[in-house]
Amino acid sequence: MMPHWDDLRIFLAVARAESLSGAGRALRIDPATVGRRVARLEETLGAPLFAKSPLGYALSEAGARLMPHAIRAEQAMEAAAGDMAGQAGGLSGQIRVGAPDGCANFVLPQVCAGIAAENPDLDIQIVALPRVFNLTRREADMVIAVSPPTAGRLSVQKIADYHLHLAASRVYLRAHPPIVKLEDLRDHRIVGYIPDMIFDRELDYLSEAGIARVHLASNSVSVQLNLVARGAGIGVLHDFSLPWLRRGQRVLADQFSLTRSFYLVRHADDRRLERQTRFAAALVEGLRAEVARLEGAT
């Protein structure tokens, strides 16, 4: 017997949430119903799809084999929905974008607000987390990354370069010894990432300035900016975040500057989905324009 698509949809939700309750919240149905539908699918296929443990629901060997087939079925349903909606119409449904929190806090809101205004039937979710996203588990439909992945069936598109500089509040600079060269930073308080929570080597900014000690640290870019803004020390900040640094300025801009890049990462198969492809095109165009606008304002 062939499995029902709706049962496959519930299977995917449990696999991604690793729990019945998490899948229920995502699907807006009762966890007990989720459990019954998983049991029905297991009966249909004649194999257990999950191994239950105190940590949650993990895919069994049979579940792992089913996963790519269920994803292809999901993609086919999304493609059909996009075709039925028509290419000329506005975007609809839900799209989740994962991004490092610097981009998610300072660039994505303006871009996604503009896309949402032009597509009132579209729901956009921004997941801002300082870590790598798992596209296979559909933690996001697409991800903005700071380094291009090299493994997996993924589509990678460079979005834009962005720039970073040392920065501090004018209050801090007036109260501390002058800074005329990089070596002078050894006499100043440094704001940066928690060293063992840097999830991508592209974020290891301070080592390039020869700085070993971080006096005030956070895994959040927005927290770092707020520390700098309150006169706590000197940090490496995105140029696109500097409009939010009130009464602050770059430090040693002629001696220290970093260039990094944003990349849009998607499932390779998702490029066939008209709805997601149109959204991705609008997202890339908007991000390029917004990074340029914010960097030009500093």
Q: Measuring CA to CA, which residue among 140, 146, 137 is closest to residue 126?
A: 140
End-to-end CA distance of the chain: 63
Q: Is 9 exposed, middle or buried (0-12, 13-18, 19+ CB in 10 A)?
A: middle
Q: In 14-44, which positions are buried (b, 16+ CB within 10 angstroms) versus exposed (e)? A: bbbbbbbebbbebbeeebeebbebbeebbee
Integer angstrom CA distances of residue 147 from 112, 158, 174, 205: 22, 9, 37, 14
Q: Quick one: pLDDT at residue 276? A: 84
Residue 53: strand pairing partners: 56
Tens of pLDDT, residue by residue over 230-280, are 999 999 999 999 999 989 999 999 999 999 999 999 887 666 677 888 899
pTM above the 0.85 mark?
no
Q: Which amino acid is at 297?
A: A
Tens of pLDDT, residue by residue over 106-141, are 999 999 999 999 999 899 999 887 555 555 555 678
Helix (H, G, I), strand (E, B) or coil at 13: helix
